[in-house]
Structure 1
Amino acid sequence: MKKKIFDIIQISDKSNIVSRAFDLTLVIIIFTNIGVMFLETFSELYLYKALFKKIEFWTTMFFLMEYILRIWTADYLYPKTDKIKARLKFLISFDGIIDLLTIIPTLYLTGFVAFRMLRVVRIFHLFRLNAQYDSFNVITSVIIEKKNQIASSIFIIMILMLAGSLCMYSAEHEAQPEVFNNAFSGIWWAVSTVLTVGYGDIYPITALGKFMAIIIAFLGVGAVAIPTGIISAGFVEEYTKDQHILNYSNLDSKDILEIKVEKNDDFCNKKIMEIKDIIIYLIIRDELSILPTPSLTLKKNDIIIFKKFN
Structure 2
Amino acid sequence: MLNKKPKKPYINWKARLHEIIYEADTPAGKLFDIILLIAIVASIVFVMLESISEFNARYHNFLNIAEWVITIVFTLEYIARIISVKKPFRYIFSFYGVIDFLSTIPKYISLIFFGTQVLIALRALRLLRVFRILKLARYLGASNMLASSLKASKTKILVFLFAVLIVSIIFGTLMYLVEGEASGFTSIPVSVYWCIVTLTTVGFGDIAPVTALGQFIASIIMILGYGIIAVPTGIVSAEFVSQNRGNHGSPARIPEVDLNTEACPYCSAEKQKDNAKYCYNCGHPLHENT
User: Which TM-score applies when normalising by structure 2?
Assistant: 0.70
State percent identity of aligned pairs.
Answer: 32
Whether 1:165 aligns to 2:172 is yes
Matches of 2:31 and 2:145, distance apart in 1: 28
2:18 to 6, 25, 47: 6
Provide closer, same or farther for how the CA distance between residues 73 and 143 of structure 1 changes in structure 2, counting only shifts above 3 A: same
Which residue pairs with 1:203 in the alignment?
208
**Which position in structure 2 is the counterpart of 1:153?**
160
Letter of the structure 2 residue corresponding to residue 164 of structure 1: F
Task: State how far apart, in whole Å, the 1-side matches of 2:82 and 2:37 are.
Answer: 20
Residue 89 of structure 1 aligns with which residue? 90
Give the Cα–Cα distance (whole angstroms) in 1 for the partners of residues 174 and 82 of structure 2.
54
Equivalences for 1:1-310 in 2 at 5 Å? Answer: 1-13=13-25, 16-45=26-55, 46-75=57-86, 86-106=87-107, 107-108=109-110, 110=121, 111-127=124-140, 134-176=141-183, 179-241=184-246, 244=250, 246=252
Length, aligned pairs only: 229
CA distance in 2, matches of 1:57, 1:186: 49
Letter of the structure 2 residue corresponding to residue 119 of structure 1: R
Pair 1:2–1:239, CA change in 2 (3 A): closer
CA separation of 1:245 and 1:219: change in aligned 2, threshold 3 A: closer
Structure 2 portions without partners, runs of 5+: 1-12, 114-120, 256-290
**Alpha-carbon spacing, 1:9–1:239, altered in 2? closer, same or farther (3 Å):** closer
| 1:244 counterpart letter in structure 2 | S
Alignment RMSD (CA, Å): 2.5
2:91 maps to amino acid: F
SS in 2 for 1:162: helix
| Counterpart residue type for residue 185 of structure 1 | V
Q: Which has the larger radius of gyration?
A: 1
Q: Which runs of 5+ in 1 are unaligned?
A: 76-85, 128-133, 250-310
- 1:118-141 Cα offsets, whole Å, 9 max, x none, are 1101112224xxxxxx42233233
Aligned partners of 2:92 and 2:98 also within 8 Å = yes
- The offset of 1:91, in angstroms, is 1.3
SS at match of 1:74: coil
Task: Give the drift of 1:213.
Answer: 1.1
Of stretches 23-32 and 215-224 in structure 1, the one that deviates more from structure 2 is 215-224
**Given that residues 156 and 223 in structure 1 are in contact (C-alpha distance below 8 angstroms), is that contact kept between their aligned partners in structure 2?**
no
Distance of 1:245 and 1:217 partners within structure 2: 38
Instruction: Give the conservation status (yes or no) of the 8 Å contact 2:99–2:135.
Output: yes
Shift of 1:103: 1.7
Match of 1:268 in 2: none
Alpha-carbon deviation of 1:248? 9.9
Q: Secondary structure at the match of 1:244?
A: coil
Q: Distance in 2 between matches of 1:226 and 1:185?
A: 26
Higher strand residue share? 1
CA contact under 8 A between 1:165 and 1:187: conserved in structure 2?
yes
Using the TM superposition, name which of 30-39 and 200-209 deviates more: 200-209
- C-alpha separation between the residues in 2 aligned to 1:226 and 1:40? 40
How many angstroms does 1:74 deviate by? 2.0
Scaled by the length of structure 1, what TM-score is found?
A: 0.66
Q: Is the 8 A contact 1:157 1:224 kept in 2?
A: no
Instruction: Indicate the structure whose relative CO is greater, using CA pairs within 8 Å and at least 6 residues apart.
Output: 2
SS of 2:59's equivalent in the other structure is: helix
> Partners in 2 of 1:98 and 1:224 — Cα distance?
31
* Structure 2 letter corresponding to 1:92: F
Distance 1:53 1:163, change over 3 A: farther
- The one-letter code sitting in structure 2 at the alignment partner of 1:225 is A
> How big is each residue's C-alpha offset from its partner over 1:98-154, in whole Å with a ceiling of 9 and x where there is no partner?
111112332248354543221101112224xxxxxx422332332233222122112
Paired residue type of 2:237? S
Amino acid across the alignment from 2:250: H
Instruction: Please tell me whether the aligned partners of residues 199 and 224 of structure 2 are also in contact (alpha carbons under 8 angstroms).
Output: yes
Contact 1:161 1:190 in 2 (8 A): yes
Partners in 2 of 1:248 and 1:26 — Cα distance? Answer: 29
Q: Alpha carbons of 1:233 and 1:33: their partners in 2 closer, same or farther (altered >3 Å)?
A: same
Distance 2:210 2:97 in 1: 52
Once residues 247 and 4 of structure 1 are traced to their aligned partners in structure 2, the CA distance between those partners, rounded to angstroms, is 31
